Amino acid sequence: MRRTALLAAASGVAALVVLGAPAAHAEGKGDIRVTKTVVNNGGNVIVGVHDVKTFPVTFTVKDNSGVKGLSRVSIFNSKNGYGVGDWTGNSCHKSNSATSVCTETFQVRPGSFKSSVDVDPNELAGTWQVNATVQAKDGDYWIHDSLAHFDFKRASTLTTDATPEPVAKGAKLTVRGKLARANWNDLKYHGYSKQNVRLQFKKTGAAGYSTVKTVQTSSTGTLSTTVTATASGTWRWNFSGTHTTMAITSAGDAVKLR
């Protein structure tokens, strides 16, 4: 199986190369080290079906002679070794004589996923890792193939519709919805089946929502349940997300008693 990962070179050249997903290791010369790595400001990388996603990977690098910079950064799925994207630039800012903060910026384009890998492009979702090579002014260097991990997730959508509106006190209220997620094959949102989604309610005047029950989505991602209307308020669905799909809370649907 061919495995590819995006490499970002300090010269500004980005290319897809053949790369496996070996066990983590580090090697180099001297005392230069990456002491901290942060992807997308600490958040997941969420990708939909059309918009280009741009995100930074920031490294804190330390060497007693001063930091020269990054010579290579790669990001890819830890399980299958595939990665997609474009390197768009880098910068290093000196914090003190021994420490610099270097940032690489990446872009991923969902429209290019299918033509970039040899597997179902949805398999790109999951845990990714960051590799990098850093260099010091005195010639020291350090290569590390697992500096950080982050979740590369499919975007999701979630709707809520409560009927009837208004509803009589003590009558049955039906709350429907649909959970869908980005499909990187056809660049559309498809229903996400067999997922547990919480139905939540906020009584008019209350400070926050409370979970009423948990409902599983159908084979097409739809949700439907019946509750007894006891007060005016707002209903919504809440999905906590998965390893490959973003968490999402629907917009609320306000229902008054009559």
How many other CB atoms are there within 10 angstroms of residue 182's CB atom?
Answer: 24
Share of the chain above pLDDT 70, in %: 90
Q: Report pLDDT for 25.
A: 64
Q: Record the tokens describing residue 250, joined without a space.
A: 């629907």
**pTM here?**
0.87
The residues near 11 (Cβ < 8 Å, ≥ 6 apart) are none
Give dist(CA 164, CA 2) in Å, integer. 54
Q: Which parts of the chain are beta strand (E)?
A: 4-9, 14-18, 26-29, 33-39, 45-47, 53-62, 67-77, 86-94, 99-108, 126-136, 141-154, 156-163, 172-183, 188-191, 196-203, 210-216, 222-228, 233-239, 248-249, 253-255
DSSP label of 187 = T
DSSP label of 59 = E
How many other CB atoms are there within 10 angstroms of residue 184's CB atom?
Answer: 23
Q: Report pLDDT for 85.
A: 77
SS3 label, residue 11: coil
Counting Cα atoms < 13 Å in the Cβ hemisphere of 21 gives: 18
Q: What are the beta bridge partners of residue 46?
A: 153
The residues near 46 (Cβ < 8 Å, ≥ 6 apart) are 53, 153, 154, 155, 246
Note down pLDDT in tens along the chain; length 258 residues. 323 333 333 323 232 322 334 445 678 888 999 999 999 999 999 999 999 999 999 999 999 999 999 988 999 999 999 999 788 888 999 999 999 999 999 999 999 999 999 999 999 999 999 999 999 999 999 999 889 999 999 999 999 999 999 999 999 999 999 999 999 999 999 999 999 999 999 999 999 999 999 999 999 999 999 999 999 999 999 999 999 999 999 999 999 999
Q: In order of start, what are the domains of the chain with their CATH numbers?
A: 4-154 (2.60.40), 156-255 (2.60.40.730)
Counting Cα atoms < 13 Å in the Cβ hemisphere of 66 gives: 8
